[in-house]
């Protein structure tokens, strides 16, 4: 393949089609991950895509295949996900380019520090002649594990809200300040986190997570002056997700008022749930069946670049079983036999594509 780095730092490898100017089928996933991560989230999809291109050898296809290794999907550094794939659908705007990381470096500066030029972002966009996008990814949950199935065909990807929250009280002496005079930001945040858990229990299938909590000044004999927290909400139905968000922001305001705290929230992401492409899903089902694996349709609780690519082209995903149902931690794994099943299904999918796009 001819590899290149686009202005968003996506690493891309193009395998030309049998005629020049062929339309492009994209395969890939992301190569960034989370702190203390496993070794398969994202990168497995990139390696599988490369293996499928390698298996094609010199076989001519009536379309080009481009492998995509997205630069930034998780959103760890700048608090907003899908930066790499947003470049391909043209939604990187000045608000995103000016977002700061914890060292005060903007996204634009980070791109320049990487030796790239943000002015080149428009050239990263998908061409008009884009056939579609297929992403292989570990499931990151326990559905396939519990059903003892190797592969899952994703029908839709749950919507995702991300918030940054700040509880502000008053630092004071831990030993001299009586209960009635305290404006304890951590006690307020802790009460609110209890509301988050209760919301997730009452709204079926809602996933609500407080992943980050930073206490200031953060020493044992000072009543916490402020607490920074994040909230991550996921649900297959956007209405359930937005109702939960409104209810939890309201709870934060109520708790803060009663405790004499300030409560500030900023929404970092409001990513709607995305249905994947029905035609590609059917092609994937035929491919999985022909390759000898059972077909299982499922919703993805995790977010993926496919939900961004789906704005501009037909998108589909094939999940591989996550042993133990764990991910985003070092126990994350994948079974070699499931990788073999995914490769066999992927090879059959390319045959399907050959007849679909001939
Ligand atoms: O957070 C997610 O859903 C994915 O791992 N980026
Ligand atoms: Mn991830
Ligand atoms: Mn991922």
Q: Which two three-digit tokens encode residue 282?
A: 């059917």
The CA distances from residue 83 to 76, 125, 277, 312, in Å, are 11, 13, 22, 15
Q: Is the pLDDT of residue 247 over 90?
A: yes
Dist. CA 358–CA 355, nearest whole Å: 5
86 CA to centre of ligand 1 in angstroms: 15
Over 90: is that where the pLDDT of 67 sits?
yes
pLDDT class of 20 with cuts at 50, 70, 90: confident
Which class for 154: exposed (0-12), middle (13-18), buried (19 or more C-beta within 10 A)? buried
Note if the pTM is more than 0.85: yes
Residue nearest to atom 4 of ligand 1 (CA): 303
Q: What is the pLDDT of residues 112-128, one digit of tens each?
A: 999 999 999 999 999 99
Strand, coil or helix: 191: helix
Identify the nearest ligand to the CA of 302 by its number.
Answer: 1
E runs forming strands in the chain? 2-5, 11-15, 24-30, 64-70, 130-138, 151-157, 159-168, 172-173, 207-209, 213-216, 222-223, 226-235, 262-271, 274-275, 297-300, 315-320
Average pLDDT along the chain? 97
Distance 337 CA to ligand 1 centre (A): 25
What would the mean pLDDT of 230-244 be, rounded to a whole number?
97
Domains of the chain: residue spans and CATH:
2-158+274-357 (3.40.630.10), 163-271 (3.30.70.360)
Alpha-carbon Rg for the chain in angstroms: 23
* Integer Cα distance of 46 and 135 in angstroms: 8
Q: Ligand 2 centroid vs 324 CA: distance in angstroms?
A: 16
Q: Which single residue is written with the structure tokens 């428009």?
A: 122
The arithmetic mean of pLDDT across residues 296-314, rounded, is: 97
Distance (Å) from CA 34 to ligand 1 centroid: 9
From the CA of 328, which ligand is nearest? 2
Query: How many angstroms separate the Cα of 108 from the Cα of each of 8, 68, 94, 95, 111?
Result: 9, 21, 9, 10, 5
**Ligand 1: lining residues by beta carbon, under 6 Å:** 73-74, 81, 302-303
pLDDT of residue 75: 95
Closest ligand (CA of 73): 1
Among protein residues, the one with the nearest Cα to ligand 1's atom 6 is 74
Res 102 pLDDT > 90: yes
């Amino acid at each position: 393949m001819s590899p290149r780095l686009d202005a968003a730092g996506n690493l891309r490898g193009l395998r030309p089609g049998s005629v020049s100017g062929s339309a492009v089928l994209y395969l890939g996933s992301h190569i960034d991950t989370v702190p203390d991560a496993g070794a398969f989230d994202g990168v497995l999809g990139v390696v599988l895509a490369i293996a499928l291109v390698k298996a094609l050898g010199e076989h001519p296809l009536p379309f080009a295949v481009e492998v995509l290794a997205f630069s930034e999907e998780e959103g760890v550094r700048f608090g907003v996900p899908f930066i790499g794939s947003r470049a391909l659908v043209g939604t990187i705007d000045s608000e995103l380019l000016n977002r700061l990381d914890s060292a005060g470096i903007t996204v634009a500066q980070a791109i320049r520090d990487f030796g790239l030029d943000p002015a080149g972002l428009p050239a990263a966009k998908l061409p008009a002649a884009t056939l579609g996008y297929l992403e292989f990814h570990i499931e990151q949950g326990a559905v396939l594990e519990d059903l003892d199935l190797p592969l899952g065909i994703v029908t839709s990807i749950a919507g995702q809200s991300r918030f940054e929250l700040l509880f502000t009280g008053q630092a004071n002496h831990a030993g001299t300040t009586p209960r009635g005079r305290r404006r304890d930001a951590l006690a307020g945040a802790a009460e609110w986190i209890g509301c988050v858990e209760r919301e997730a229990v009452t709204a079926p299938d809602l996933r609500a997570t407080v992943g980050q909590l930073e206490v200031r000044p953060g020493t044992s004999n000072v009543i916490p002056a402020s607490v920074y927290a994040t909230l991550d909400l996921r649900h297959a139905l956007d209405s359930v997700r937005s109702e939960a968000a409104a209810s939890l922001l309201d709870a934060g305001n109520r708790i803060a008022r009663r405790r004499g705290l300030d409560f500030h929230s900023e929404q970092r992401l409001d990513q709607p749930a995305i249905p994947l492409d029905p035609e590609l899903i059917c092609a994937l089902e035929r491919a999985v069946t022909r390759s000898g694996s059972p077909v299982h349709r499922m919703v993805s609780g995790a977010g993926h670049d496919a939900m961004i690519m789906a704005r501009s082209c037909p998108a589909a995903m094939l999940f591989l079983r996550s042993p133990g149902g764990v991910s985003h931690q070092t126990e994350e794994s994948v079974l070699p036999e499931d990788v073999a099943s995914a490769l066999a299904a992927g090879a059959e999918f390319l045959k399907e594509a050959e007849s679909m796009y001939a």
